[in-house]
Amino acid sequence: MKCRKCGGTAVINMRQHKLALCADDYLAWLPEQVQRFIEKYEMFTRDDRVLVAVSGGKDSLGLWDILHRLGYQADGLYIGLGIDGGFGYSDQSRELSERFANEHGLKLHVVEVEQTYGATIPELAVISNRGHGKPCSVCGLNKRYIMNRVAHDGGYTVLATGHNLDDEAAVLMQNTLNWAGGYLVRQAPVLPASRPGLARKVKPLCRIYEREMAAYTITRGIEYIYDECPHAVGSTTLYNKELLNQLEEKRPGAKLQFYLSFLQAKEAGLFSAKASEPDLHACDRCGQPTTAPGECSFCRLWDKVRGVKNLPDRVPASLVAPALSA
Ligand code: AMP
Ligand code: FES
Ligand code: ZN
């Protein structure tokens, strides 16, 4: 297979774009695509201070690399979840994230959930009795909360995650199967900061295939954690991804079309904006915006844990180290 740009040996063939590229041309092409989508969806500009949530995986490290190469001001945030899975999943993820930051001279904030709040995510799942023995739901709640807090405390104007097309299409499929109107209205490349205290959230890789991100990070020589979170095994998301891959196999581009037609349908008014603006107010305890009356679900969760574990009452004034927040 030959590179369409230079005739050299192709390292990737993207049937969905009818495009094969060599290593050099691919490493130039992908960031150009990302730049196009950042502009198209008006995600952020070079004046913004971007906080990239990095998990140590290919998507988020690849995203950080791309934003850095494109000349954006992007710092990283790694959240230590305390997940072991028999191979030190969280420790390895942290190490790879730190290595990438050091090698590129980039700033990485690290928040260890256990050190900051007093329990690991798996422990939290058991104590809170949420999520039917799976930590994923408390994990998601904690990640969303901490990302938002660090963005706010550190004065970042946008929060970027590494969600790729496969992630977005799998979630879209689930939300469609459930006709989950509220989620469908809010699933978008950009979630504006609808009120003070809520960070603007963007997904610059939402149109990039997972396979394209893997090829990018490998070709760039970025070391990332290959393993999925051990708790993701058997999840609906992974199952949906498999189904979508079968579809894609028969019809290259099907995944992208599914997602893009959804965005277009929404643009054309398929969903009313009615469900999109939940009533938010400040949490009585930590001040972050919440839909729950009184305390937010993060604070209620940790109240319960403090009771069970007899932990001191801690509400960190800021999740960003003072020396770093200037
Ligand atoms: P996931 O929900 O694991 O598919 O991850 C989706 C996105 O969330 C990743 O691309 C990252 O941007 C972010 N993310 C996931 N885990 C972490 C973590 N431990 N620390 C910081 N960001 C994370
Ligand atoms: Fe959160 Fe797996 S449970 S990453
Ligand atoms: Zn709260």
DSSP string, 247-265: HHHHSTTHHHHHHHHHHHH
pLDDT at 324: 46
Instruction: Give the mutation target among 59, 60, 78, 81 for probing the ligand 2 site: most ligand atoms within 8 A of CB.
Output: 81
Q: Which residues neighbour ligand 3 (ion) by CB within 5 Å?
A: 283, 285-286, 296, 299
**Does 323 reside within a domain?**
no
Q: Is the pLDDT of residue 94 over 70?
A: yes
Predicted TM-score (pTM) of the model is: 0.94
Instruction: Give the mutation target among 81, 161, 202, 208 for probing the ligand 1 site: most ligand atoms within 8 A of CB.
Output: 161
CB of 65 sitting under 6 A from ligand 1: no
Contacts of 151 (CB under 8 A, 6+ apart): 51, 77, 158, 159, 199
CATH number for position 177: 3.40.50.620
Q: What does the pLDDT look like over 198-236, one tens digit per residue?
A: 899 999 999 999 999 999 999 999 999 999 999 998 899
**Does 28 reside within a domain?**
no
**Does 7 reside within a domain?**
no
Q: Is the pLDDT of residue 53 over 90?
A: yes
Q: Which ligand is nearest the CA of 291, by number?
A: 3
CB of 171 sitting under 6 A from ligand 1: no
pLDDT at 315: 74
Q: What does the pLDDT look like over 122-168, one tens digit per residue?
A: 999 999 888 787 899 999 999 999 999 999 999 999 999 999 999 99
**Does 216 reside within a domain?**
yes
pLDDT at 129: 82
Q: Which helix (H) or strand (E) holds 290?
A: strand 289-290
pLDDT at 197: 84
**Does 59 reside within a domain?**
yes
Q: Is the pLDDT of residue 169 over 80?
A: yes
CB of 111 sitting under 6 A from ligand 1: no
Q: What are the tokens at 25? A: 């041309």
Q: What does the pLDDT look like over 258-298, one tens digit per residue?
A: 999 999 999 998 887 665 567 888 999 999 999 888 999 99
Q: How many structural domains comprise the chain?
A: 1
Angle, to 10 degrees, between the axis of helix 165-177 and the axis of helix 210-220? 160
pLDDT at 309: 87
Residues 225 and 57 sit within 8 Å (Cβ to Cβ): yes
Domain hosting residue 184, numbered range: 39-309
Q: Which residue has the higher pLDDT, 181 or 9?
A: 9
Q: How far apart are CA 243 and CA 156, in angstroms?
A: 37
**C-alpha distances out from residue 282 to 116, 195, 197, 235, 286, Å:** 22, 10, 9, 33, 8
